[in-house]
């Protein structure tokens, strides 16, 4: 066990309130406790009913009332008040919309209850009999949780609020896969438990059957009942989109200006891709260059074991090269584990270290079924995004900073625009430092950046009803226009790109947070450099900004510029 730094700052009333809120939040969300590496509730699942949502909303309101009565005693308190107040007001406002019958209970292809309930088992400990007892207990709770969720969807539909048909049908298909006799990734848990006693395995097999049956029941409900009530339009509408954009960014943006900027940024990246294609083979188009790279044996890996080993080597190399030269990386944060997730959803993600670092930070790749060949030119930028200097540095060092930050600030203050924006900023930083000079690796960076810029345009355009770009005929956005636009600017497998588009349509405001967050990080760095002139030090800027933790981007800017 690694002890975090001991606090050298006297804890304040505001710190105690933030930590009490964290404890109360985790009591309502055992899944979030597991995700954060906080033990004690790994055998439980959140209440997914409307009553569960009301409890979350009431907690937000109670904490806000208490926060408004407290006075900051130092700059750290000022940031906590701004960050906690901003997060809770947005969460309360979003919950109020659902509970007042003005927005639907969430159901989407990537980040709603059906995905969360399966994915949580990937990151649970599996080394001891006690840990497998927790897995079994949580699996046995899945049917009840699914019934609660189904009741919430039904209640929401009775208020006239249902998510679009595309999300209903796609999630139903996901649920059918999980319920299937052959395709369900729940069955992977049995393979992971091969060294456990027969009693554990027998209980596990029964619990898996119950979980699969629950997914089958949800699939039937979505197909047979909810789909008929779901609207055809994928658009959320501008009012709801504005709220969700603020929630994901922690910042208020001009949507029209950002929509135009997204198109300009995409054009800039497209031009850079053309230049890089010329380096790969003179006269080659981007698509021809991509085909060349995909067939080049220098960039090929076969099998998930080879993929994991390559990820680990590259992640470790980045930590070794950047420590003390570009970043002050605490000793326990210099360890990262690269993992292949059993769930096979195609998602790549990061999970934070536990507070005592007994569980290290981990980079997970949930490799899709049937995929066994990987092109490293596409993925080096992903290692930097998820590892160092991306999420692992950003989140890991925040967890370690107990001498500066209360537990809520260290463990639970997360905003997509801050986190994903920093990770994209990190990708470009590695290019600026010379780590992406290989034309193949640079094409991978640019192709990923093209995806991120294209989804700014699609996400804002579709959900806010803006006119589509001329390259797809202008006029009103449709699914076919969105697909054509995305396909024009991304060189990835069709299945992945289709899933990406469904994700944007079902999770308004989240996907653009990456590229917009990167933009706001760059603007902040440029502003600090302008103010400090010749005294500007990039390493010092990074340390100063990251020490604030994962606050909303408006709060980050005010804190760094000392304007709170």
Sign of CA pseudo-dihedral 46, 23, 341, 206 = negative
Q: According to the model, what pLDDT value does residue 215 have? A: 98
Cβ atoms within 10 A of the Cβ of 440, count?
Answer: 24
CA dihedral 135, 139, 144, 150 (to 10 degrees): 120
Say which residue the tokens 């760094």 belong to.
Answer: 560
Q: What's the per-residue H, E or C state across 367-406?
A: CCCCCCEEEHHHHHHHHHHHCCCCHHHHHHHHHHCCCCCC
Task: Please state, in angstroms and rounded to a whole number, the distance separating the CA atoms of residues 60 and 88.
Answer: 5
Cβ atoms within 10 A of the Cβ of 128, count?
Answer: 10
Structure letter (DSSP) for residue 329? -
Q: According to the model, what pLDDT value does residue 214 have? A: 98
3-state secondary structure of 290: helix
Structure letter (DSSP) for residue 508? T
Q: According to the model, what pLDDT value does residue 376 have? A: 96
How many CA atoms does the CB half-sphere of 43 hold within 13 Å? 8
Q: Are 485 and 454 in contact (CB under 8 A)?
A: yes
Q: According to the model, what pLDDT value does residue 252 have? A: 97
The H-assigned helical ranges of 4-108 are 13-28, 30-36, 50-68, 75-99
Q: According to the model, what pLDDT value does residue 410 have? A: 96
Q: According to the model, what pLDDT value does residue 212 have? A: 97
Q: According to the model, what pLDDT value does residue 9 have? A: 83
Q: Are 139 and 50 in contact (CB under 8 A)?
A: no
Task: Please state, in angstroms and rounded to a whole number, the distance separating the CA atoms of residues 297 and 184.
Answer: 33
Say which residue the tokens 């625009």 belong to.
Answer: 417
Tell the burial category of 343 from Cβ atoms under 10 Å away from its Cβ (0-12, 13-18, 19+): buried
Q: According to the model, what pLDDT value does residue 3 have? A: 44
- Closest among 449, 350, 446, 451 to 393, alpha carbons compared: 350
> 323 - beta bridge partners?
327
Q: According to the model, what pLDDT value does residue 46 have? A: 98
Q: Which uninterrupted H or E stretch holds 351? A: strand 348-351
564 residues of the chain, pLDDT tens digit each: 444 444 568 999 999 999 999 999 999 999 999 999 999 999 999 999 999 999 999 999 999 999 999 999 999 999 999 999 999 999 999 999 999 999 999 999 999 999 999 999 999 999 999 999 999 999 999 999 999 999 999 999 999 999 999 999 999 999 999 998 777 889 999 999 999 999 999 999 999 999 999 999 999 999 999 999 999 999 999 999 999 999 999 999 999 999 999 999 999 999 999 999 999 999 999 999 999 999 999 999 999 999 999 999 999 999 999 999 999 999 999 999 999 988 777 788 999 999 999 999 999 998 888 889 999 999 999 999 999 999 999 999 999 998 889 999 999 999 999 999 999 999 999 999 999 999 999 999 999 999 999 999 999 999 999 999 999 999 999 999 999 999 999 998 888 899 999 999 999 999 999 999 999 999 999 999 999 999 999 999 999 999 999 999 999 999 999 998
Output the six-digit token pair for 273.
Answer: 């891709």
Q: Are 247 and 90 in contact (CB under 8 A)?
A: yes
- How many degrees, rounded to 5, is the angle at CA 482 between CA 481 and CA 485? 85
Q: Are 237 and 104 in contact (CB under 8 A)?
A: no
Dmax (CA) of the chain:
68
- How many degrees, rounded to 5, is the angle at CA 32 between CA 30 and CA 37? 95
Tell the burial category of 182 from Cβ atoms under 10 Å away from its Cβ (0-12, 13-18, 19+): exposed
Q: According to the model, what pLDDT value does residue 7 have? A: 52
The H-assigned helical ranges of 250-368 are 255-280, 286-295, 304-322
Whole-number Cα distances in Å, 353 to 2, 35, 37, 86, 124: 11, 9, 7, 25, 13
Task: Please state, in angstroms and rounded to a whole number, the distance separating the CA atoms of residues 57 and 59.
Answer: 5
Q: According to the model, what pLDDT value does residue 4 have? A: 44
The H-assigned helical ranges of 104-128 are 113-123
């Amino acid at each position: 066990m690694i002890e975090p730094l001991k606090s050298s700052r006297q804890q304040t009333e505001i710190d105690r309130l933030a930590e009490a809120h964290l404890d109360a939040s985790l009591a309502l969300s055992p899944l979030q406790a597991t995700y954060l590496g906080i033990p004690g509730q790994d055998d439980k699942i959140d209440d997914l009913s409307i009553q569960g949502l009301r409890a979350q909303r009431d907690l937000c309101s109670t904490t806000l009332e208490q926060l408004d009565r407290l006075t900051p005693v130092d700059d750290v308190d000022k940031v906590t008040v701004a960050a906690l107040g901003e997060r809770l007001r947005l969460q309360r406002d979003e919950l109020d919309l659902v509970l007042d019958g003005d927005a639907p209970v969430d159901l989407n292809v990537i980040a709603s209850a059906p995905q969360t309930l399966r994915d949580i088992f990937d990151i649970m400990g599996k080394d001891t009999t006690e840990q497998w007892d927790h897995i079994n207990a949580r699996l046995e709770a899945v049917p009840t949780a699914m019934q609660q969720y189904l009741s919430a969807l039904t209640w929401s539909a009775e208020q006239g609020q249902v998510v679009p048909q595309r999300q209903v049908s796609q999630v139903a298909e996901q649920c059918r896969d999980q319920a299937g006799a052959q395709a369900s990734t729940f069955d992977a848990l049995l393979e992971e438990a091969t060294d456990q006693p027969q009693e554990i395995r027998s209980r596990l097999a029964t619990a898996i059957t119950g979980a699969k049956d629950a997914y089958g029941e949800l699939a039937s409900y979505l197909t047979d009942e909810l789909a008929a009530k779901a609207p055809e339009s994928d658009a959320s509408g501008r009012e709801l989109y504005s709220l969700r954009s603020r929630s994901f960014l922690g910042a208020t943006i001009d949507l029209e200006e950002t929509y135009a900027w997204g198109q300009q940024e995409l054009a800039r990246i497209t031009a850079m891709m053309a230049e890089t294609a010329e380096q790969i083979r003179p006269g080659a188009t981007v698509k021809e260059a991509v085909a060349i790279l995909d067939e080049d044996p220098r960039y090929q890996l076969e099998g998930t074991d080879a993929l994991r080993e390559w990820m680990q080597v590259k992640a470790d190399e980045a930590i070794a090269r950047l420590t003390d030269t570009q970043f002050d990386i605490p000793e326990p944060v210099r360890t990262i584990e690269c993992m292949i997730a059993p769930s096979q959803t195609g998602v790549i993600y990061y999970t934070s270290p536990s507070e005592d670092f007994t569980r290290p930070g981990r980079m997970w790749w949930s490799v899709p079924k049937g995929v066994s060949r990987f092109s490293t030119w596409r993925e080096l930028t992903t290692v930097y995004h998820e590892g160092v200097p991306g999420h692992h540095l950003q989140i890991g060092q925040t967890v370690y900073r107990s001498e500066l930050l209360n537990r809520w600030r260290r463990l639970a203050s997360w905003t997509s625009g801050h986190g994903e924006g920093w990770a994209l900023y990190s990708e470009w930083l590695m290019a600026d430092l010379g780590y992406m000079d290989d034309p193949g690796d640079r094409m991978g960076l640019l192709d990923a950046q093209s995806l991120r810029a294209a989804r700014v345009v699609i996400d804002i355009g579709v959900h806010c009803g803006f006119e589509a770009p001329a390259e797809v005929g202008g006029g009103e956005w449709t699914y076919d226009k969105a697909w054509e636009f995305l396909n024009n600017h991304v060189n990835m497998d069709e299945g992945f790109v289709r899933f990406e588009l469904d994700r944007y349509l079902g999770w308004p405001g989240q996907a653009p947070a990456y590229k917009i967050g990167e933009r706001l990080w760059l603007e902040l760095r440029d502003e600090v450099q302008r103010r400090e002139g010749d005294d500007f030090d990039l390493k010092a800027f990074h340390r100063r900004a990251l020490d604030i933790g994962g606050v909303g981007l408006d709060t980050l800017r005010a804190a760094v510029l000392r304007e709170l």
